[in-house]
Amino acid sequence: MGKPTGFLEYKRENAKVLAPKVRIADFHEFRLPLSREKQRLQGARCMACGVPFCQSGTMIAGMTSGCPLHNLVPETNDLVYTGNWKQAYLRLCKTHSFPEFTSRVCPALCEAACTCNLDGEPVATKENERAIIETAFAEGWVKPQKPKVRTGKTVAVIGSGPAGLAAAQELNRRGHTVTVYERNDRPGGLLRYGIPNMKLEKSVVDRRIRLMEEEGVEFKVKTDVGKDIKAEELLKIYDRVLLTCGASAPRDIKVPGRDAKGIWFAVDFLGTVTRSLLDSDFAKVPYELARGKNVLVIGGGDTGNDCVGTVIRLGAKSVKQLEMMPEPPVERAEDNPWPQWPRVLKTDYGQEEAIAVFGKDPRVYQTTVTEFIADKKGNICKAKTVRLKRKRDEKTGRMLMVPVEGTEKVIPAELVLIAAGFLGSQKYVTDAFQVAVNERANVDTALDGYATSVPRVFAAGDMRRGQSLVVWAIREGREAARAVDESLMGYTNL
């Protein structure tokens, strides 16, 4: 373990961050890592519990408790404490494909399940993970892992998000010839265009893509499978096809005035901003998208928060973030005990920045939009909102959020971003492969498996399990690679 009394002697310390009014000046990451010595003391706080919930990745009360990848958390924390950074990297990569991604964007399920979180502050496992992988890159320990022997088998991976990349990495290292198809102009999927640069620098994504290319993975971009190339053609070329296209059908807000100009789906907006920055090598910031505008963000999740942080950097005049559900409690409720995921109030970086710039939290709870109002030119200029309250449905017994009469408001809004989640995989892709889908429009696969209803076609990630976390997508990609490998070889050593 780390140090038996470490959790008593050392306080939790996170990486420093630039002040909100400083960091909103650009789109770069704003976390300032701890020194190696300070990070070592964070590793010392780990108690190496007899039952380490941090690495369990089990479902409790419908929520994940601990790391879905089953990272060897106590081991790596101990190795950080003892200063054995290379061994820490080797142990971390036993279970993890891309620590550099999750150590930036994961909500740290491991920390929520940490025993120290029961009555105190959890071990800074996420910061330790980032320190491990960045030290490994800096020291040159992360090298291309080229397969010594090729199997002669070919696999097409459709989609280059975290699930697709994880599967491609595993299958290629196994010796199969892997080609990844991506409809966008650059690989990375959600990592590239769904997560803002200040949260995940695209140079970090590029660094991993280059490594995978050196290992032998081929990336074909600007190729929309189901449109630019037919499914039947892929099945003729490749021995197996793995669908990892994400849950990319956004949930819409179907109210009067929806056709007004200036209403975006959040991921389209975030992708447009990132593309403009990358195309100009950060010389052109698309201020015209939000400067001087009252912005309305619909959705209280991570994507909604990313929208808040983005429009502030683009010079928004004001920003409101609507959330249908009630405000969470500051501390765990009695029906939400450890080691369940804590359903508590979280103020993320975008909201912190809004508080610093505008003087108040942008979130408005128990509120939704009932109508969009356009000006004479068809541009969105206002939105009607209404308060909601909980009410039990007499027939089903379910709790619903229903409008409260007399609480209607009209607010200014020249830009609206819909971050209300996703409704499953896109139909044109599933239709192209004629795979069965479930009632949520996710690809239907074998129980606890990844094979679809179509021979030689597999599915993984959000496309299979629905909208989820990057860490879950990586796990799905790794497990799907194992299933594909076994179907090709009759056994698997992945």
DSSP string, 391-430: EE-TTT--EEEEE-TT--EEEE-SEEEE---B-SS-HHHH
Question: What is the rounded average pLDDT of the residues 91-103?
Answer: 98
Beta pairing partners, 59: 64
> In this structure, are strands 318-323 and 363-365 parallel, antiparallel, or unpaired?
parallel
Position 393 scores a pLDDT of 87
136-140, 396-400, 410-414: which range is least confident on average? 396-400
What is the residue-averaged pLDDT of the chain?
96
Question: What is the rounded average pLDDT of the residues 402-417?
Answer: 97
Enumerate residues 6+ apart whose C-beta is below 8 A from 274: 192, 193, 196, 197, 202
d(Cα 278, Cα 202) in Å, to the nearest integer?
A: 8
d(Cα 167, Cα 245) in Å, to the nearest integer?
A: 12
d(Cα 194, Cα 269) in Å, to the nearest integer?
A: 9
- The token pair at 382 is 């206002």
d(Cα 298, Cα 283) in Å, to the nearest integer?
A: 30
Q: Which residue has the tokens 């800074």?
A: 124
Backbone angles phi, psi at 160, to 5 degrees: -115, 30
Q: Is the pLDDT of residue 447 over 80?
A: no
**Residue 144, preceding bond cis, omega within 30 degrees?**
no
DSSP state of 29: -
d(Cα 453, Cα 432) in Å, to the nearest integer?
A: 13
Q: Is the pLDDT of residue 290 over 90?
A: yes
> In this structure, are strands 240-243 and 263-265 parallel, antiparallel, or unpaired?
unpaired
Query: Quick one: pLDDT band at residue 225, thresholds 50, 70, 90?
Result: very high
Q: What percent of the chain has pLDDT over 90?
A: 94
- The token pair at 2 is 């780390």
Question: What is the rounded average pLDDT of the residues 22-33?
Answer: 97
Position 231 scores a pLDDT of 97
DSSP 3-state of 327: coil
Structural contact between residues 47 and 2, judged by C-beta atoms closer than 8 angstroms: yes
What domains lie within the chain, and their CATH numbers?
A: 6-139 (1.10.1060.10), 154-248+423-489 (3.50.50.60), 263-418 (3.50.50.60)
157-161, 183-187, 258-262, 390-394: which range is least confident on average? 390-394
The 3-class SS string of 144-201 reads: CCCCCCCCCCEEEEECCCHHHHHHHHHHHHHCCEEEEECCCCCCCCHHHHCCCCCCCC
Structural contact between residues 355 and 313, judged by C-beta atoms closer than 8 angstroms: no
Q: What percent of the chain has pLDDT over 70?
A: 100
pTM beyond cutoff 0.85:
yes
Position 120 scores a pLDDT of 85
Position 4 scores a pLDDT of 84
Task: Report the Cα 489 to chain-centroid distance in Å.
Answer: 32
Question: What is the rounded average pLDDT of the residues 308-324?
Answer: 98
d(Cα 72, Cα 94) in Å, to the nearest integer?
A: 8
Beta pairing partners, 383: 372, 411
Question: What is the rounded average pLDDT of the residues 222-231?
Answer: 97
Rg (CA), the chain: 23
Q: Is the pLDDT of residue 407 over 90?
A: yes
- Rounded to 10 degrees, the C-alpha dihedral 388/301/428/446 comes to -100
d(Cα 309, Cα 266) in Å, to the nearest integer?
A: 12
Q: Is the pLDDT of residue 1 over 70?
A: no
Structural contact between residues 176 and 258, judged by C-beta atoms closer than 8 angstroms: no
